[in-house]
Structures are given as structure tokens and as C-alpha cells.
């Protein structure tokens, strides 16, 4: 703990915006996709043409409800949309459709079970809104181009209570939130693609006191680590101000990750008046119990529920289970493998120790050529004695580059395990003759001595001897040797 933190207690709250993984935009039928050519995914509604009207996307509301249920929040019985008004070139209507007074979710909590110390952070609300477009300033000529593909993509804004007390807390909360959102297929939460964005409110107060200090809002945070750095920097900045006899101004600051510092964006006095009012184009809509129940029934399993299943039903260790669960794509991969080979423990082992060993430098499991079918086949081949573990490992390494079926590699590399009893009996006999001391030790009850003989047999079979059969033969021969 820095000396600052001995004197000051930070109070932190986060506003997280996530793009919802719907097929279409929030209020029109345009596709919700990242990376299309500029303005290709637009129509009169999201362009804000005169005469166009919004029609709400029910799927977006369902994903919001799914989130609300996952965090134990209250789902509004009637939810409504408001207009948040400001002028900006990337906002073609001159207002953003959002929810001010009737958010679809209020309350709920997030507990940092996977990434933190199990702290529970309260949520104030989560509401639906539409994304704005993107302005791009040209390097030369000073003109600005506007791409409205993003305009109208559904967003869920999740506002936490000021329950976080450190940069680490904020990092853990963000990761935990992302895990929930990704596991529930609500959002991709990819900060690089802008499908998760985050603003932070920070204030500090002398340790041991309760009133909140004046808070500063930080914007332009581009990674979770950036959030942590920005918070640490802001705590130090505020502490320095206060310790020098100054005061913290209510203001919004922009974080510059490269420079590792923030600069003033606007003071509170110049904060915009958004003139919220109920959007007359969108009547309030009732969220009936039946609808909520249906959303609950089709929701994927929550991370904690999954952890319980992996440890109790699959018999995985807490550690292994968490490794799988914290990355939903790995989890999906594991589930597919398990469904194919019906052996969760071995599937988990092959994925987390063998496959991970081959994956280097941030490769995503979705891009790996070895698919769940490959892993399931290897697990089965080892189980039925065709391959021993060493050979299977060799096959996997080959498949990682060239994902042909294991059987082809086994043939090509001549890796079929030798289980021919007569051949193995001869080899074991020879090994015993060559290692009289080991035989004597074995007879004296020193089981470890078997290693020398089995090792010899493995060497003779180029590693393909079936270890189980070798041990069996050795035990038998010992009786008469």
C-alpha cells in the first residue's frame, strides 16, 4: 500500500456501457455488426431522417432482463424510454434514446468470486439506450467524417454504487461483470472493438471518515489495466491537491494512457443540460411476468452455478474449473469436448495442460485448429489402449499444426501402442535378466524398482508398450522368476 492509501480511502463507482449481442439495432432493422464499410449499415431510422420512427428491439430488452435476473436486480414492471438531448455530429437526431426515469433494471449486485476477494458490489441500475455514430477527424484538410454504422446499436449502461475502494477492486469488478455478460451471451465485451466502454467516478476521503469527497469523472479508458492505472493516478492527484491545502473540483477528465495522466475535459458548471423527457414515439411498455419467466428459462447457466457443477458433477478441481469458466470460449470448447468423449476430467486435463501448453502468445482457443473432436478422439484412444499418453501428446503436437484425424497421425508416426502379450513377455523377460538387482529389490518389496524394467521395455518398444500390460506381465513373471 502506498503511503497515500494509508491516509486516504478511495471511493469508486463505475458506469459501464456494453453493446448487446442482438442481430439488429435497437430501434431499426439494420444489422448489428462491427467492421462493415462506413455507413453501410444504416437506414432512415438510424440516420434520423425526417419522418422516420423508432420501433424497440424486443431482443435487446430480453438481454437486459437476462442481465437483471443474473445480478438479482428488480425488473421494471413498466419500462419506458426518454430522450437525452445534445448536439453532436455523430448523433443525427440531436438526441439519444435512453432511459432516465424508468430503467429496465434497478438494483442487483456483482460479487468478485472469480477475479477478486469475493467482495459484493451493489448496482444502482442498468438501462437500455442506443449507441451514437463515430466521428473521424481527417489527418489533413481538417474535415470530419461520420460513420453511422454504430448509431443505434443497443447498449446496456450498468451503473455501480460507489462501493469500490481500490483500483484492484475496480479491475476485479470489471472482469467479473464481463464474465457474467459473456457467459450469458449478452455482450462480447470487447474493449478494443468498443463493445465495452467504461467511465469511472473517483473521490477520496480521510481513512476512518464516512462523508464522500467531491468526485471526478474519468473518461476515455481503453482497457481494464488502463482503468486501474487511471484510478491510481487520480487517487494520487486528488491526495496531492488536498494535502497541498487545495480542493478537488467536480469535473470530468480525459485519461491519456500513453502519457499516464489525465486532463480536464469540462467543469461541473459547464455540464450539459440533457433536458430528458419521455420519448413520445415510444409508449411505455409492460414487462409481464410471463415474459420474464421465459427469459429466465432460456438464460445460460451463471458462472457460479457452473463452478458448482464442474466441481461436484464433473469432479474437477476448483482451480481447473475456474480456468475453464473464466473464459467462456474455453468453457464452450470444454463442454463440446466433454459431450463427445463423456470424460470431463480427462477433457479438462488435455485442454488446460496439453493444449494450453501449445498455445502461445494470446492465441484464442476459437482460432486453434485442434477442435473438440480432436481432443475427444485422443481421450478415447488413450482410454481404449490404442495410444499411451506420451504418444497422444505427440499426436496433439502434430495436430496443432495440421489438424488431420488422430488415427492418420498414429499410422503415419507408427504410434500404435504394443499390446501384443507374447511380444511384451519376451521383452520384459529380457529386461529382468538384464536387471537382476531390480528383480531382487522388487522381491524385497521395493516397488519403485519396477521402473528400471518397465523403462527398458518402453525403450525397446519405442515408447509404444502398453504400460498397464507391461506392469501386469512383470508382476506375473516375478512370481516364477
Min dist CB 48 to another protein, Å, is 5
Smallest gap from Cβ 29 to another protein, in A, equals: 10
Q: Which of 8, 95, 115, 173 binds another protein (CB under 8 A)?
A: 95
Which is closer to another protein, CB of 281 or CB of 335?
281
Sequence-distant (6+) residues with CB within 8 A of 137 are 143, 144
Phi, psi for residue 169 in degrees, rounded to 5: -55, -45
* Nearest-approach distance from CB 250 to another protein, in angstroms: 16
Contact 407, 387 (CB under 8 A): no
- The DSSP line for 173-209 is HHHHHHHHHHHTTS----TTTTSEEEEEEEEEEETT-
Interface positions, 442-461, toward another protein (CB under 8 A): none
The residue among 132 and 473 lying less far from another protein, judged by its C-beta, is 132
What DSSP string describes 340-354? HHS-HHHHHHIIIII
Q: How big is the CA angle at 223 (ends 220 and 229), to the nearest 5 degrees?
A: 80
Residue 216 is placed in which grid cell? 471526478
* SS3 state of residue 255: strand
Would you say 13 or 56 has its CB closer to another protein? Answer: 56
Q: Which is nearer to another protein, 283 or 315 (CB)?
A: 283
Give me the least distance between CB of 133 and another protein, in Å please. Answer: 10
* Interacting positions 280-319 with another protein (CB under 8 A): 280-283
Work out whether 363 is an interface residue with another protein (CB under 8 A).
Answer: no
C-beta closer to another protein: residue 44 or 436: 44
Q: Which is nearer to another protein, 89 or 357 (CB)?
A: 89
State which residue, 93 or 253, has the beta carbon closest to another protein: 93
Q: Looking at 25, 66, 93, 150, which residue binds another protein (CB under 8 A)? A: 93
Q: According to CB under 8 A, which one of 85, 109, 175, 419 is a site residue for another protein?
A: 85
Strands of 238-345 (E only): list them: 251-256, 261-267, 277-278, 285-286
- Burial code (b: 16+ CB inside 10 Å, e: under 16) for 308-328 equals eebbeebebeeebbbbbbbbb
* Per CB under 8 A, 87 contacts another protein: yes
Site residue total, another protein (CB under 8 A): 30
Of 131 and 460, nearer to another protein (C-beta) is: 131
Binding mask 142-171 for another protein (x = CB under 8 A): --x-x-------------------------
Which is nearer to another protein, 280 or 361 (by Cβ)?
A: 280
Which one of 88-96, 242-250, 370-378, 392-400 is the stretch in contact with another protein (CB under 8 A)? 88-96
Dihedral sign, Cα of residue 254, residue 178, residue 357, residue 374:
negative
Cβ atoms within 10 Å of 294's Cβ, excluding its own = 13
Binding mask of the shown chain, residues 247 to 286, with x at each position contacting another protein by CB under 8 A:
--------------------------x-xxx--xxxx---
Nearby residues of 41 by Cβ (< 8 Å), 6 or more positions away: 25, 30, 31, 32, 33, 149
Q: Is 405 in the site for another protein (CB under 8 A)?
A: no
Residues pairing with 266 in the sheet: 252
Report the SS3 class of residue 267: strand
Smallest distance from the beta carbon of 45 to another protein, in angstroms?
Answer: 8
Which residues 6+ apart lie within 8 Å of 425 measured at CB? 473, 477
Measured in degrees and rounded to the nearest 5, phi and psi for residue 131 equal: -75, 160
Distance CA 174, CA 190 (A): 12
Name the minimum Å distance from CB 84 to another protein.
10
Scanning residues 21 to 80, which ones bind another protein (CB under 8 A)?
Answer: 44, 47-56
Give the footprint of another protein on this chain (CB under 8 A). 44, 47-56, 83, 85, 87-89, 92-95, 144, 146, 273, 275-277, 280-283
Amino acid at each position: 500500500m502506498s503511503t497515500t492509501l494509508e491516509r486516504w480511502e478511495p471511493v469508486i463507482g463505475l458506469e459501464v456501457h456494453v453493446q448487446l449481442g442482438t442481430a439488429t439495432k435497437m430501434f431499426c432493422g439494420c444489422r448489428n455488426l462491427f467492421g462493415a464499410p462506413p455507413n453501410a449499415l444504416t437506414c432512415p431510422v438510424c440516420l434520423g431522417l425526417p419522418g422516420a420512427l423508432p420501433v424497440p428491439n424486443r431482443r435487446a430488452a430480453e438481454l437486459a432482463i437476462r442481465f437483471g435476473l443474473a445480478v438479482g436486480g428488480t425488473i421494471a414492471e413498466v419500462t419506458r424510454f426518454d430522450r437525452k438531448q445534445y448536439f453532436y455530429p455523430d448523433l443525427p437526431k440531436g438526441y439519444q434514446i435512453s432511459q432516465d426515469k424508468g430503467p429496465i433494471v434497478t438494483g442487483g449486485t456483482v460479487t468478485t468470486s472469480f477475479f477478486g476477494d469475493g467482495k459484493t458490489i451493489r448496482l444502482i441500475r442498468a438501462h437500455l439506450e442506443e449507441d451514437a455514430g463515430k466521428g473521424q477527424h481527417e489527418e489533413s484538410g481538417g474535415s470530419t467524417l461520420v460513420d453511422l454504422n454504430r448509431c443505434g446499436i443497443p447498449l446496456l449502461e450498468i451503473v455501480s454504487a460507489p462501493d469500490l475502494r481500490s483500483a484492484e477492486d475496480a479491475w476485479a469488478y470489471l472482469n467479473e461483470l464481463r464474465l457474467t455478460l459473456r457467459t450469458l451471451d449478452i455482450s462480447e465485451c470487447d474493449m478494443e472493438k468498443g463493445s465495452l466502454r467504461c467511465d469511472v467516478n473517483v473521490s477520496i476521503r480521510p481513512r476512518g471518515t464516512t462523508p464522500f469527497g467531491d468526485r471526478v469523472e474519468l473518461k476515455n479508458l481503453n482497457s481494464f489495466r488502463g482503468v486501474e492505472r487511471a484510478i491510481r493516478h487520480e487517487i494520487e492527484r486528488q491526495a496531492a491537491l488536498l494535502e497541498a491545502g487545495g480542493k478537488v473540483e467536480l469535473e470530468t477528465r480525459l485519461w491519456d494512457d500513453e502519457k499516464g495522466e489525465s486532463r480536464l475535459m469540462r467543469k461541473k458548471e459547464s455540464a450539459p443540460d440533457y433536458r430528458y423527457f419521455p420519448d413520445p414515439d415510444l409508449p411505455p411498455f409492460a414487462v409481464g411476468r410471463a415474459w420474464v419467466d421465459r427469459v429466465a428459462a432460456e438464460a445460460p447457466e451463471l458462472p457460479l452455478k457452473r463452478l458448482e457443477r464442474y466441481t461436484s458433477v464433473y469432479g474437477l478441481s476448483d482451480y481447473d474449473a475456474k480456468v475453464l469458466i473464466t473464459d467462456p470460449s474455453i468453457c464452450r470448447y470444454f463442454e463440446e469436448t466433454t459431450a463427445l468423449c463423456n470424460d470431463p476430467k480427462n477433457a479438462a486435463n488435455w485442454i488446460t495442460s496439453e493444449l494450453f501448453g501449445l498455445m502461445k502468445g494470446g492465441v484464442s482457443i476459437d482460432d486453434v485448429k485442434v477442435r473438440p473432436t480432436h481432443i475427444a478422439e485422443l481421450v478415447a484412444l488413450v482410454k481404449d489402449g490404442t495410444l499411451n499418453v506420451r504418444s497422444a501428446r505427440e499426436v496433439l503436437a502434430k495436430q496443432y499444426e495440421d489438424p488431420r484425424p488422430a488415427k492418420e497421425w498414429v499410422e503415419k508416426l507408427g504410434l500404435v501402442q504394443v499390446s501384443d502379450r507374447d511380444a511384451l513377455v519376451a521383452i520384459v523377460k529380457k529386461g529382468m535378466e538384464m536387471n537382476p538387482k531390480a528383480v531382487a529389490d522388487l522381491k524385497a518389496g521395493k516397488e519403485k524398482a519396477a521402473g528400471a524394467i518397465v523403462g527398458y521395455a518402453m525403450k525397446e518398444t519405442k515408447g509404444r508398450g502398453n504400460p498397464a500390460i507391461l506392469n501386469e506381465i512383470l508382476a506375473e513373471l516375478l512370481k516364477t522368476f
